[in-house]
Amino acid sequence: MLKKQRLFTPGPTPLLPAAMAAMAQSEVHHRTADFRAAYKQVLEDLHYFYGTTNDVFLFTSSGTGAMEAAVSNLFSPGDAVLVAQAGKFGERWTEIAKAFGLSTDIVEAPYGEPVMADAVRAKLGSRKYAGLLFQASETSTGVAHDVQAFAAAAAEHGALSIVDAITGLGVMPIDVDGWGLDVVIGGSQKSLAIPPGLAFASVSARALEQSKKAALPRFYFSYAREKKAADKGDASWTPSTALILALAQSLKFVRELGRETLIANAAFLAEATRAAVQAMGLQLFAKSSPSSAVTAVCSPEGVDSRVIIRALRDRFNLIVANGQGSMEGKLFRLAHLGYYDYPELAGSIAALELVMNSIGHKVELGAGVRAAQQVAAARL
Ligand SMILES: *Cc1c(COP(=O)(O)O)cnc(C)c1O
């Protein structure tokens, strides 16, 4: 059998062909008029992608760099922050805040469940917090948070709302300005369908003000320096020129497709996937608040999910993600964010049916595909 490699992982995601072509033609110097024009266009198009009039800064780093930048740019030694923690990426917020010596409190949900807005609001009222840190979509468990309610709770208590929306942007509706989100973080290797290596942050006027007073040390990641440079079409340091040229193509693609259509596409694929795996007798891991970025599926009782993941790879060259942390071996995750379409999803469900049968979890062939088809038919 011929096997095409297909990434079904929640970052990196499949690459946009136009972006790949742009990377191959990236012999360019970053302090030239041509590159400055491209960089300015990218910053403008990022505003469209975000749907915001706030400043949007771009960093050459993976997404975690922009998370660290939010902490180092906004807070002072001794500040207290609250982390809404529902998985590996929430734990990353906690680790970063602690690494910078902040007094870090946690409001937690078990893996597979969201942190509830009421719990966040109650905790915010218990003490003076300078910021609330959370995920829009917790990629490790496939859970979505109520971003709007979290932002409102933070504003009520005078805390900055700082959201890791790395698998939220281009995936779920996020009204940055309307909901008053202070810092919204994105990354290149998720819904924008280019390789890892760029991170973004939209920053509100209020957050910029706070960053001027914030006393934590910072150097590479500096909002003030980045703002000054961006106004001239420059990045502070040598940026990843190849990735920025790729990003220009990706943002053009999103503009032409429409941000709402990109979001609706992920929601549709996620809905079809949930229907399909349940029709195959499999359990969803995130039952109450599933994210459209990725669907986490529980491995059947007594089956290590690595067996399923390996079989999908060996038989069909389909790359899916394992669970993370304590969920490793217990679930597998299928991504929907970015450059995915329905025919490849339907094909991957068909492959999953065959794999499940081969490992002894009997599925009537076509049961999962039929359920996905019914979701698709309702949209046509
Ligand atoms: C992918 C991802 C990140 C970024 O991780 P990097 O490896 O630093 O790019 C952060 N948060 C979430 C929710 C993610 O899905």
- Nearest one of 183, 197, 201 to 238, comparing CA atoms: 197
Identify whether the C-beta of residue 297 lies closer than 8 Å to the C-beta of residue 282: yes
C-alpha 122 – ligand 1 centre gap (Å)? 28
Same structural domain, 192 and 240: yes
Q: What is the pLDDT of residue 373?
A: 98
Same structural domain, 171 and 126: yes
Residue 1 resides in a domain: no
Give the structural domain span for 352. Answer: 6-12+258-379
**Count of domains forming the chain:** 2
Same structural domain, 191 and 109: yes
Containing 378, the helix (H) or strand (E) segment is none
Residue 288 burial (CB count, 10 A)? 12
Asked if pLDDT for residue 231 goes beyond 90, the answer is no
Same structural domain, 232 and 294: no
Same structural domain, 130 and 180: yes
Asked if pLDDT for residue 347 goes beyond 90, the answer is yes
> By mean pLDDT, which of 20-34, 72-86, 270-284, 299-313 is the weakest?
20-34
Q: From CA 143, how far away is CA 290, in angstroms rounded?
A: 5
Ligand 1 atom with the smallest distance to the CA of 135 is 13
Q: From CA 79, how far away is CA 56, in angstroms rounded?
A: 25
Q: What CATH number did the domain enclosing 272 receive?
A: 3.90.1150.10
Q: From CA 38, how far away is CA 142, in angstroms rounded?
A: 35
How do residues 300-323 score in pLDDT, each as one tens digit? 999 999 999 999 999 999 999 999
191 lines ligand 1 (CB under 6 A): no
C-alpha 64 – ligand 1 centre gap (Å)? 6
Containing 270, the helix (H) or strand (E) segment is helix 259-279
How do residues 104-155 score in pLDDT, each as one tens digit? 999 999 999 999 999 999 999 999 999 999 999 999 999 999 999 999 999 9
C-alpha 187 – ligand 1 centre gap (Å)? 7
Degrees to nearest 5, angle at CA 319 with 318 and 322: 135
Residue 57 resides in a domain: yes
Asked if pLDDT for residue 380 goes beyond 90, the answer is no
Residue 60 resides in a domain: yes
pTM as predicted: 0.98
User: Strands 6-7, 131-135: parallel, antiparallel or unpaired by DSSP?
Assistant: unpaired
> By mean pLDDT, which of 8-12, 55-59, 228-232 is the weakest?
228-232
Residue 364 resides in a domain: yes
